[in-house]
């Protein structure tokens, strides 16, 4: 069965695709040696199982960010989540967890002080419910992507405290019982492992105690969600992850409801692989925490628009495989999320000049070696290795 037919059938059955044309049905050959499109050459009964979600089984939640807001607003493609039918189709069937890439951040939700703009976040929640997926909420307390009216508002300490409390009660409360994990606090330490006492408006104006309050307010608003600290460059054991290790122990001793520690996992083939990733997650697990990898992508240097070389793709696949294996090896690591799954919508080329190709699929949705690396590592852990659906 051809891919186009599968997608069409699925779209009709699901009845949720927003009137777009299917763009990738006649995919051109993938640059740099991509694999066949999903479903192609697979017996009809097995095609639906030829996914990361099936490979993972119940071993771990395999997630992706849902593209929207942030850098997407300045790109020349239509909104992926509503207008790209292939994207939507794969979002629904490849993954068992979704994260809001930008749609639950302050600058997206709060265009002005009085208004909460929940339309896109609600749409993600509804999509997840329809597809049996869990959702990771991202994020409540951060130094980035805050609206101008907040950063420049000249608010007193009391006003800021009240604003954050209201925000958490409203946002976390709205989705109470429907969020698997919340990134309550994001990136509170800088690259020198120092608290962002200047950059982070909340910490600057209210002190570190506001972080504990944020966790308490989140717990009160949704007793079921697991509450996380999340950051980048904390994959391995290093001064920055040490800072979290120390802080979290203090908070736990004070009875602050911290449930989890997650590493984003924005990696580059330019750097060596953080080989102590599992050991790092394990030490947090040993504190009684859940752990997660929340924003995995593996970028590479592509100067002057170069295509990835086979060596780069192989190294990328190895990094994806090793992260997946590390996540699977740590008890209480319940979710592994990719920061997007197709290069078209990746934040990487927009953010890191001369770098790209960071996701597991080419722009035409064909699969890279990295896709197979993740899938095979998942299948090995779930007991589904060798299943006929996954044999290609
Ligand atoms: C990124 C988004 O992917 C972009 O769309 C946006 O323009 C900037 O933010 N760490 C995080 C994520 O916690 O929220 C960031 O997401 C990537 C780095």
Among 36-40, 157-161, 325-329, 370-374, which is the least confidently predicted range?
A: 36-40
Reference 229, options 248, 252, 213, 216; nearest CA is 248
Indicate whether 48 pLDDT > 90. no
Helices within 99-156 (DSSP H only): 106-109, 119-130, 148-151
Indicate whether 328 pLDDT > 50. yes
**Which tokens hold the place of 330?**
């740590």
300 near 270, Cβ under 8 Å? yes
Indicate whether 277 pLDDT > 80. yes
Atom of ligand 1 lying closest to residue 347 CA: 3
75 near 350, Cβ under 8 Å? yes
pLDDT > 70: percent of the chain? 88
CA distance to 210, 317, 384, per residue, from 360 (Å) = 38, 8, 20
pLDDT at position 19 is 29
Catalytic annotation, pick one of 89, 94, 101, 187: 187
pLDDT at position 55 is 98
365 near 37, Cβ under 8 Å? yes
pLDDT at position 392 is 66
Q: Which of 295, 343, 349 for a ligand 1 pocket mutation test, highest count of atoms within 8 Å of Cβ?
A: 295
Reference 99, options 121, 78, 80; nearest CA is 121
**Which tokens hold the place of 33?**
């040696």
Ligand 1, atom 6: closest residue by C-alpha: 70
- Which H/E stretch holds residue 167? helix 157-174
| Dist. CA 261–CA 245, nearest whole Å | 9
Reference 250, options 221, 209, 193, 220; nearest CA is 209
58: burial class by Cβ within 10 Å (0-12, 13-18, 19+)?
A: exposed
Q: pLDDT category, 346, cuts 50, 70, 90?
A: very high
Indicate whether 28 pLDDT > 90. no
| Dist. CA 358–CA 315, nearest whole Å | 12
Per-residue pLDDT tens over the stretch 154-209: 999 999 999 999 999 999 999 999 999 999 999 999 999 999 999 999 999 999 99
* Average pLDDT of the residues in 141-152: 98
pLDDT at position 44 is 64
Asked whether the CA dihedral 355, 359, 365, 371 is positive or negative, the reply is: positive
CA torsion angle 202 203 209 214 (round to 10):
40
| Dist. CA 260–CA 237, nearest whole Å | 16
CA distance to 44, 82, 135, per residue, from 125 (Å) = 30, 14, 7
Beta bridge partners, 139, equal: none
259 near 224, Cβ under 8 Å? no
CA distance to 335, 344, 352, per residue, from 356 (Å) = 24, 10, 8
Whether 391 sits among the annotated catalytic residues: the reply is: no
**Which tokens hold the place of 156?**
């007193």
Q: pLDDT category, 17, cuts 50, 70, 90?
A: very low
Reference 81, options 336, 298, 342, 293; nearest CA is 342
The SS3 assignment for 151 reads helix
The SS3 assignment for 279 reads helix
* Average pLDDT of the residues in 343-351: 98
Helices within 305-386 (DSSP H only): 310-329, 348-351, 369-382
Q: Which of 351, 355, 358, 359 for a ligand 1 pocket mutation test, highest count of atoms within 8 Å of Cβ?
A: 351
Residues with Cβ within 6 A of ligand 1?
70-72, 101-102, 186, 232, 264, 295, 347
Ramachandran region, residue 338 (left: φ > 0; alpha: ψ -120 to 50; beta: rest): beta
| Dist. CA 130–CA 76, nearest whole Å | 29
Among 3-7, 152-156, 337-341, which is the least confidently predicted range?
A: 3-7
Residues 6 or more apart whose CB falls under 8 angstroms from that of 305 comprise none
CB atoms within 10 A of CB 171: 24
Indicate whether 65 pLDDT > 70. yes
Whether 187 sits among the annotated catalytic residues: the reply is: yes
User: What phi and psi values does residue 300 have, to the nearest 5 degrees?
Assistant: -145, 160
CB atoms within 10 A of CB 116: 15
Beta bridge partners, 183, equal: 138, 228
CA distance to 121, 168, 340, per residue, from 100 (Å) = 7, 16, 10
Per-residue pLDDT tens over the stretch 78-115: 999 999 999 999 999 999 999 999 999 999 999 999 99
Catalytic annotation, pick one of 101, 295, 334, 363: 295
Beta bridge partners, 36, equal: none
Atom of ligand 1 lying closest to residue 69 CA: 5
């Amino acid at each position: 069965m051809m891919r186009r037919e599968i997608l069409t059938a699925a779209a009709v059955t699901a009845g949720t695709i927003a009137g777009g044309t299917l763009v990738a049905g006649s995919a051109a050959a993938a640059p740099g040696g991509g694999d066949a499109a999903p479903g192609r050459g697979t017996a009809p009964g097995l095609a639906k199982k030829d996914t990361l979600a099936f490979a993972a089984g119940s071993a771990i939640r395999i997630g992706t960010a849902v593209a929207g807001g942030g850098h997407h607003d300045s790109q020349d493609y239509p909104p992926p989540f509503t207008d790209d039918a292939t994207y939507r189709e794969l979002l629904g069937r490849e993954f068992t967890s979704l994260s809001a890439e930008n749609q639950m951040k302050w600058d997206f939700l709060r265009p002005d002080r009085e208004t909460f703009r929940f339309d896109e976040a609600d749409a993600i929640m509804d999509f997840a419910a329809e597809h049996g997926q869990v959702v990771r909420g991202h994020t409540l307390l951060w130094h980035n992507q805050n609206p101008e009216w907040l950063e420049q508002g000249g608010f007193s300490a009391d006003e800021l405290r009240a604003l954050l409390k209201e925000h958490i009660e409203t946002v976390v409360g709205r989705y109470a019982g429907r969020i698997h994990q919340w990134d309550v606090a994001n990136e509170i330490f800088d690259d020198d492992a120092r608290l962002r006492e200047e950059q982070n408006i909340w910490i600057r104006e209210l002190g570190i105690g506001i972080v504990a309050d944020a966790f308490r307010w989140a717990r009160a608003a949704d007793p079921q969600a697991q509450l996380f600290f999340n950051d980048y460059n904390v994959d391995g054991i290093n001064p920055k992850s040490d800072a979290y290790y120390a802080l979290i122990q203090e908070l736990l001793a004070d009875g602050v409801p911290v449930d989890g520690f997650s590493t984003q996992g924005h990696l580059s083939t330019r750097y060596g692989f953080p080989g102590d990733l599992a050991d790092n997650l394990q030490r947090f697990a040993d504190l009684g925490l859940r752990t997660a990898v929340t924003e995995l992508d593996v970028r590479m240097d592509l100067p002057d628009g170069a295509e990835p070389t086979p060596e780069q793709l192989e190294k990328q696949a190895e990094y994806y495989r090793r992260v997946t294996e590390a996540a699977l090896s740590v008890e209480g690591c319940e979710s592994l999320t990719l920061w997007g799954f197709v290069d078209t919508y990746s934040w990487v080329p927009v953010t890191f000049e001369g770098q790209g190709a960071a996701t597991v699929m080419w722009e035409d949705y064909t699969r890279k070696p990295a896709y197979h690396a993740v899938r095979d590592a998942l299948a090995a852990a779930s007991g589904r290795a060798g299943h006929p659906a996954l044999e290609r």
